[in-house]
Amino acid sequence: TLDLCISNDKEDVQRRNRGETEEEQRRNRGETEEQRRNRGETEEEQRRNRGETEEEQRRNRGETKGTKAVFSNSELLELEEFIPNVQSKSLEVKQKLLRYDLPRFREFKRKGLKLRWGRYSEEENLQIRRNVEDFLKLTLIQTPEELFFPQRFPEREHSLRDVRANHRFYQRIAEGLLRTCDQVYVRSKKIFDPRNHMGRFSEDELQALQKLHTIHGNDWKTIANKLERSIYACEKRHAQIGKRSEHGPWTPEEMHRLKRATKKHLKRALESSPSPGLDLGVDPGPSFFLLCSKLPWKKISQKVKSRSPDQCRRKWSDALPSLCVPVCQILYQLQVEDVSDVDWIQVAQSVG
DNA sequence: TTCGCCATACAATGCCTGAA
DNA sequence: TTCAGGCATTGTATGGCGAA
């Protein structure tokens, strides 16, 4: 505990020396609202210390001009238990979460279930399909496309929307899923959009895309309707037509810039979230994780200058195995019995 | 094996619309 | 005029495929 206190004090001195404000220091210490309350700060003081304007404070209380709060701070705190960064969400998102999701989250908690994040599992996708199937049977709507895209059926759009509202569409499709209603809704739209998953653009489609963009600009809704492709596919495909970075083999200078930019980021990442065993050579896992994923390719690309973020990403991922082989060879030569016996500094020096 | 192209997934959030 | 419900937009991540 003493070591931890000393370490925290040292960090505070370093932060002050970096010229951080008190609020920035608290944020960087990862201090929670609860810890602030325990220090005796009132809610208002906390808001002031966060540097919020009166307007922001009002919005965060869920108020609009001339209205009272539509949700209480205690509800938000309760929501924070399930969604840690909820305070930073927009007012609209908070309102939706409180209205549709908080009661579901309470139920999950009672049953000892935890919310899920990241990619949807096969079982989750299956559950969405079951929910949609049930909803279609209940409402006698014929196809998922009518259900999720009523605007594509102008003659029935109004009645389709009515049916959805009357049968609590938004909540029903999320039944049995440990996600927010909005997350399930967005996911479902992608699953059931027949204009998705259509394969490569043909030459004709590419030409039409170019022409339509000249005529309609960034009105992707119109372009997508005319091409009968999803909005996402049109927009992304068009973005890729235009951007052409340097082609061909990477020059040594480019590789040098890539390594330098990546190294700089990794250094920062390791400093901000050091792995407990990293320096001791106990657990090489986290460093490998940092090497492989969650790298800010856009920023790295800006540093490399001549290559796109994607080119940098691919080059790095392709280069990783060649970096790993010498490490494996050295580990083999060292003939250590256990990973904890590895002298990682020696390994790093050997690899160069 | 390297590289470029491509489609798609996921998350966040501001904007729009229609009913009350 | 307000606000719930829904939609559009943007940015980023991931991985398959084919050509060189």
Could you give the CA distance from residue A271 to residue A274 in angstroms, rounded to a whole number?
6
Between A135 and A295, the higher pLDDT residue: A135
Where does the pLDDT of residue A314 fall: very low under 50, low under 70, confident under 90, or very high at 90 and above? low
Question: Average pLDDT for residues A300-306, to the nearest whole number?
Answer: 65
C-alpha distances out from residue A240 to A81, A209, A216, A237, A299, Å: 41, 12, 18, 5, 19
Instruction: Specify the pLDDT at position A79.
Output: 73
For chain A, which residues make up each domain, given as ranges? Answer: 122-192, 203-236, 252-351
Where does the pLDDT of residue A266 fall: very low under 50, low under 70, confident under 90, or very high at 90 and above? low
| pLDDT over threshold 50, residue A117 | yes
Mean pLDDT of chain A: 59
- Please name the CATH architecture into which domain A203-236 falls: Orthogonal Bundle (1.10)
Are A212 and A223 in contact by the 8 Å Cβ rule? The answer is: yes
DSSP letter for A88, please.
G
Are A247 and A232 in contact by the 8 Å Cβ rule? The answer is: no
Could you give the CA distance from residue A33 to residue A49 in angstroms, rounded to a whole number?
12
Nearest nucleotide to A294 (CA to C1') is C13
| pLDDT over threshold 50, residue A59 | no
Question: Å between A22 CA and B3 C1'?
Answer: 48
Least confident of A54-58, A81-85, A300-304, A311-315: A54-58
Instruction: Specify the pLDDT at position A306.
Output: 61
Could you give the CA distance from residue A169 to residue A144 in angstroms, rounded to a whole number?
12
- Say which amino acid occupies A150: P
% of chain A with per-residue pLDDT over 90: 0
Strand B footprint, Cβ within 7 Å: A 85, 88-90, 92-93, 117-120, 158, 182-183, 186-187, 190, 196-201, 230, 232-233, 236-237, 240-241, 244, 246-250, 307, 310-311, 314-315, 318, 321-322
Among all protein residues, pick the one whose CA is nearest to the C1' atom of C8: A221
Instruction: Specify the pLDDT at position A298.
Output: 60
Question: Average pLDDT for residues A271-282, to the nearest whole number?
Answer: 40
Q: Name A220's Cβ contacts closer than 8 Å, sequence gap at least 6.
A: A231, A234, A235
User: pLDDT tens digits, residue range A184-194?
Assistant: 777 777 677 66
Question: Å between A198 CA and C10 C1'?
Answer: 22
Instruction: Specify the pLDDT at position A214.
Output: 66
